[in-house]
Amino acid sequence: MSPVYVARATEIAARALGGEMMIMSARDSTLFTLNEVATTIWQAADGRTPLSEIVESKVCTEFEIAPEQAFEDAESFVRELAGHGVLLVSDQPISEETR
């Protein structure tokens, strides 16, 4: 399985409220409210760190969840937000220029 890299898209509006993020897609005006786990993934989505590493080093250490389940849930979350243009997903690192 090849690594999955994620980066925050540039055409979004995002604001932290408490431990959650509110994000609006510029593509379709969909509003998302991210829970603490999703917010952790969102904040770590730098385009250079593989999703598996984000899950292992951030999600599993901050929240009590098994790595396999955490990665499966993270991948589903990332794919959903990518479908709305909120996150970018690639099998290679994502540079600032390609966002």
Domain ranges of the chain: 5-86
Number of H helices and E strands in the chain, helices first, is 4, 6
Q: How confident is the chain (99 residues) per 10-residue block, as mean pLDDT?
A: 90 89 90 94 96 96 92 95 93 84
30 burial (CB, 10 Å; 0-12 / 13-18 / 19+) is middle
Q: Can you give the pLDDT at residue 36? A: 93
Distance of CA 60 to the CA centre of its chain: 15
Domain covering 5-86 in this structure, CATH number: 3.90.930
**How far from the centroid of its chain's Cα atoms is residue 34's Cα?**
10
- Give the C-alpha separation, 22 to 3, whole Å: 27
